[in-house]
Amino acid sequence: MIQVTKPFLPPVEDYKKYIDKIWQRQWLTNMGPLSSELEMQLKEFLNLDHLIFVTNGTVALQLAIRALDLKGEIITTPFSFVATTSSIVWEGCTPVFVDIDKNSLNIDADKIEAAITENTSAILATHVYGNPCEIDKIEEIAKKHNLKIIYDAAHAFAVQYKGKSVFEYGDISICSLHATKLYHSTEGGLIITKDPSLLKKAALMRNFGISDFNKFAELGINGKNSEFHAAMGLVNLKYVDDIIAKRRELSLQYNIGLKNVKGYFPTWNTNSDPNFAYYPIVLQTEQLLLNVMEELGKNQIFTRRYFYPSLASALPYLEPKDLPITDDISKRVLCLPLYYDLTIEEVNLITRLILRTQNNTQW
């Protein structure tokens, strides 16, 4: 069986060394020494000044919205994981969807300004599959209209934009460290900002708003993470370069095998290099996609329609909105298996089955 993704697990002996320390200290959560060490090592690895480790990427988004004190409307993308939109609604704001660019699959920056109203407070843009948005355009628009920017960089660990971590941009960037990500702490998330006062506010919110014993400075939630998750993050950080290198090798093999596929691959931002977090392909028709999924499934190979359907039309708590490019792309995009343990031989099998299905599909 070939899954669409599989979590990277380090040698168990490496992890056990940290677990033994947890047993000795009996400090399991509430930002223990391993959580603090992970924050320090991540800042060094990513060359960042400010970063906090939280429960998951969704909590990171909710804390970002709350820390920026956002109200009213937030412009966002309909082509993302549901948490991007649900976090906006959960925090009492209104998502305003803008269609995507058919090449990058990111929010189309040229369409943002038309969606701005007197009630707009921010732009929440996703770096889809880790591919940086049109950051310069978005920041120019935000500055012109006095808007805040949150980047959902859930997929963008280790991605750089113009020589700096992509997390450096916007008022706040968030990242997911979920087990399915190329770098993970089993469950986890990051909040990154250049503003130390904003980071302090988010850190207080992460711990119920507690500022000292019996004192409260902010409205907060329980957004802390455990020492067990931090231990996994610390071990896995040692393997990130190897993980990305292996995923790059597999992706290049896919490229060779699928050079004649009836479809196209999203265009990566020219100011950045990919981290190979996913291998998406936009097939020529939805019927071809369904045929490919069926054929691969018969061979115990599993793919994912990521992201399908469009968030602008799928959520029962929002009025549906037709966005032609998103509606079209979401029906035709498919993410193929990509993970550290996948082999070149398995990639070759997948590409052969796709091409065979393509040749057998009626056009």
Q: What pLDDT, in 10s, does the model give residues 45-72?
A: 999 999 999 999 999 999 999 999 999 9
Contact 272, 104 (CB under 8 A): no
Rounded (10°) CA dihedral 211, 217, 220, 224 = -20
- Domain range annotation of the chain: 12-237, 240-360
- Residue 361 pLDDT greater than 90, yes or no: no
For residue range 202-227, what is the model confidence (pLDDT) as tens digits? 999 999 999 888 889 999 999 999 99
The contacts of residue 97 (CB under 8 Å, 6+ apart) are 76, 77, 78, 311, 312, 321, 323, 326
Q: Of 282, 252, 277, 253, which is closest to residue 267 (Cα–Cα)? A: 282
Between 1.25.40.10, 3.40.50.300, 3.40.640.10, 3.40.630.30, what CATH number should domain 12-237 receive?
A: 3.40.640.10
Class in CATH terms, 240-360: alpha beta
- Over range 74-103, report the average pLDDT: 98
Cα separation, 91 vs 70, whole angstroms? 9
Helix-strand-coil percent breakdown of the chain, rounded to 5?
A: 40, 15, 40
- Residue 358 pLDDT greater than 90, yes or no: yes
- Over range 89-102, report the average pLDDT: 98
Q: Answer whether 12-237 and 240-360 agree in fold.
A: no
- Over range 247-270, report the average pLDDT: 98
Contact 22, 34 (CB under 8 A): yes
For residue range 259-288, what is the model confidence (pLDDT) as tens digits? 999 999 999 999 999 999 999 999 999 999
- Residue 360 pLDDT greater than 90, yes or no: no
Residue burial 109-142, b: 16+ Cβ < 10 Å; e: rest: beebeeebeeebbbbbbbbbbbbbbbbeebbebb
3-state secondary structure of 199: helix
* Main-chain phi, psi angles of 83, to 5 degrees: -60, -30
Contact 191, 198 (CB under 8 A): no
Q: In percent, how much of the chain has pLDDT > 90?
A: 97
User: Minimum mean pLDDT among 6-10, 217-221, 340-344: which range?
Assistant: 217-221
For residue range 180-200, what is the model confidence (pLDDT) as tens digits? 999 999 999 999 999 999 999
Considering the chain, what is the average pLDDT of its residues?
97
Amino acid at 201: K
E strands of the chain, at which residues? 51-54, 73-76, 94-97, 120-126, 148-152, 160-161, 164-165, 172-176, 189-192, 210-212, 215-216, 263-264, 280-283, 333-335
For residue range 147-174, what is the model confidence (pLDDT) as tens digits? 999 999 999 999 999 999 999 999 999 9
For residue range 313-338, what is the model confidence (pLDDT) as tens digits? 999 999 999 999 999 999 999 999 99
- Residue 104 pLDDT greater than 80, yes or no: yes
How much is the pTM? 0.96
3-state secondary structure of 356: helix
Amino acid at 197: S
Amino acid at 12: V
- Over range 341-347, report the average pLDDT: 98
Contact 141, 113 (CB under 8 A): yes
Residue burial 290-299, b: 16+ Cβ < 10 Å; e: rest: bbbbebbeee
CA 140 from centre of chain = 23
Cα separation, 359 vs 261, whole angstroms? 10
Cα separation, 233 vs 240, whole angstroms? 10
| Burial degree of 11 (CB within 10 A; 0-12, 13-18, 19+) | exposed
pLDDT number for residue 46:
98
* Residue in this structure with the two tokens 């896995």, named with its chain if needed: 236
Q: In percent, how much of the chain has pLDDT > 70?
A: 99
pLDDT number for residue 363:
58
